[in-house]
């Protein structure tokens, strides 16, 4: 059996990935109203860091308090949030050397919400947990919501600089890579899409104008984050709406990012229009990734209901993407890479404490860490 592409290593600037499996960022909505990482994040990230994936990405992390999706979102905007996340990472990295990235984000008009299990609705500024939102233009996501304030130049500068400052904080605590969130209808996507951006200044109208602020943010982050570390972008490949953001515009944005030093692009979709009709199904976003991959040379990440290992392998084998990202599949099955390795004939590197869990019928699945005897797999009564 030939070596599966899903388990081929890949280097992306400083990232040496053991395989092409990436754990996508997944919001946990589990901070107190202060944006600080806590014991839940240590447990959540800790067990994912033992999964055998090539890269773990920390959830959407707000660069300013008003950039949070919900009042309970993770943040990285001051010394307190930096110290809290540093402590979590210290505990995770005591037992895993998996590369760790962080997604930096601002929710724009989709901010100031209740947690999903409490309804997920937007909270008005007068609510104890709510605040005034901002966006490219002063139109809400849903008609009944409190309208955002259209950002002026000073407001855009503050947010751009906040992205850069958060990137510096991420570097200080040892984060290996930064992903800029420009997808799912959040602030940077709100600037990109003509459905949410109705500005008449140099940041609205033409594609060049609508890309301007997201590219300014990218440039600021790239300049702030160490030059030898990776910066990537997540983008929605389409709004799934007539007259909205589409794959052709995504390609133009991807080319502009690559020219500025972007190391990889993660192709998702939707999120900016309440009326969107998304044709959900296995790999429904892969055609978007394929179109972008044919237009750029940087690695392209495919994501979206790719739950079967053979499907993931086929996407890579067909040349539709370079990396496969999974999110909720990892919440359900934190050892997804182990199962994929068994199915495809690959190998994973478990923590030494789990070496003895290798099934008899799958001997050879585990890469034995250096300085650990292969005999550590089995005790005398198990051999």
Domains of the chain, earliest start first = 5-346 (3.20.20.70), 350-383 (no CATH)
Cα gap 50→351, rounded to integer Å: 7
pTM: 0.95
Quickly count: other Cβ atoms within 10 Å of residue 375's Cβ: 11
297 closest CA partner among 325, 274, 267, 264 = 264
Place of tokens 């944005």: 253
Beta bridge partners, 22, equal: 55, 325
Cα gap 310→278, rounded to integer Å: 24
* 284: annotated active-site residue: no
3-state secondary structure 294-312: CCCCCCEEEECCCCCHHHH
Question: At CA 56, angle to CA 54 and CA 60, rounded to 5?
Answer: 150
Residue 381: predicted pLDDT: 45
Cα gap 10→209, rounded to integer Å: 35
User: Angle, to 10 degrees, between the axis of helix 336-344 and the axis of helix 309-317?
Assistant: 70
8 A C-beta contact, residue 101 and residue 229 = no
Residue 380: predicted pLDDT: 39
Cα gap 25→303, rounded to integer Å: 11
8 A C-beta contact, residue 263 and residue 226 = no
Enter the tokens of residue 225.
Answer: 């984050």
Task: Per residue of the chain (383 residues), give pLDDT as tens.
Answer: 578 999 999 999 999 999 999 999 999 999 998 999 999 999 999 999 999 999 999 999 999 999 999 999 999 999 999 999 999 999 999 999 999 999 999 999 999 999 999 999 999 999 999 999 999 999 999 999 999 999 999 999 999 999 999 999 999 999 999 999 999 999 999 999 999 999 999 999 999 999 999 999 999 999 999 999 999 999 999 999 999 999 999 999 999 999 999 999 999 999 999 999 999 999 999 999 999 999 999 999 999 999 999 999 999 999 999 999 999 999 999 999 999 999 999 999 988 888 888 888 888 888 876 655 555 555 434 44
Cα gap 218→180, rounded to integer Å: 7
By CB atoms closer than 10 A (0-12, 13-18, 19+), residue 88 is buried
8 A C-beta contact, residue 41 and residue 89 = no
Residue 364: predicted pLDDT: 81
Cα gap 345→161, rounded to integer Å: 46
- Distance of CA 52 to CAs 66, 117, 286, Å? 35, 30, 23
Catalytic residue among 186, 203, 284, 332: 186
């Amino acid at each position: 059996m030939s070596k599966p592409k899903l388990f081929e290593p890949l280097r992306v600037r400083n990232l040496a990935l053991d395989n092409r499996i990436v754990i996508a960022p997944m919001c946990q909505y589990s901070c107190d109203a202060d944006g600080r990482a806590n014991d839940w994040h240590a447990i959540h990230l800790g067990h994912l860091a033992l999964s055998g994936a090539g890269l773990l990405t920390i959830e959407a992390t707000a660069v300013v308090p008003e950039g949070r999706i919900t009042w309970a979102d993770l943040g990285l905007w001051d010394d307190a949030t930096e110290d809290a996340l540093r402590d979590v990472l210290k505990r995770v990295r005591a037992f895993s050397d998996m590369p760790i990235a962080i997604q930096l984000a601002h929710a724009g008009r989709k901010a100031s919400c209740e947690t999903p299990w409490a309804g997920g609705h937007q909270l008005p500024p007068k609510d104890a947990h709510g605040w005034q939102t901002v966006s490219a233009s002063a139109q809400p996501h849903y008609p009944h919501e409190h309208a955002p304030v259209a950002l002026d130049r000073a407001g855009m500068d503050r947010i751009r600089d906040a992205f850069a400052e958060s990137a510096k904080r991420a570097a200080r605590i040892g984060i290996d890579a930064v992903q800029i969130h420009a997808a799912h209808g959040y602030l940077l996507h709100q600037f990109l899409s003509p459905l949410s951006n109705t500005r008449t200044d140099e940041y609205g109208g033409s594609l060049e104008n609508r890309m301007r602020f997201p590219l300014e943010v990218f440039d600021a982050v790239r300049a702030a984050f160490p030059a030898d570390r990776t910066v990537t972008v997540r983008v929605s490949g389409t709004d799934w709406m007539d007259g909205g953001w589409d794959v052709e515009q995504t390609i133009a944005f991807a080319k502009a990012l690559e020219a500025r030093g972007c190391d990889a692009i993660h192709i998702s979709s939707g999120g900016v229009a309440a009326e969107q009709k998304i044709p959900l199904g296995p790999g429904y976003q892969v055609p978007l990734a394929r179109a972008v991959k044919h237009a750029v040379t940087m690695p392209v990440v495919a994501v979206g209901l790719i739950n079967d290992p053979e499907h993931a392998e086929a996407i890579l084998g067909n040349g539709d993407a370079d990396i496969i990202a999974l999110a909720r599949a990892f919440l359900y099955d934190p050892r997804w890479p182990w199962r994929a390795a068994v199915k495809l004939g690959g190998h994973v590197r478990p923590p030494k404490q789990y070496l003895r869990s290798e099934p008899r019928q799958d001997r050879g699945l585990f890469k034995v860490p250096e300085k650990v005897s292969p005999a550590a797999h089995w005790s005398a009564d198990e051999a």
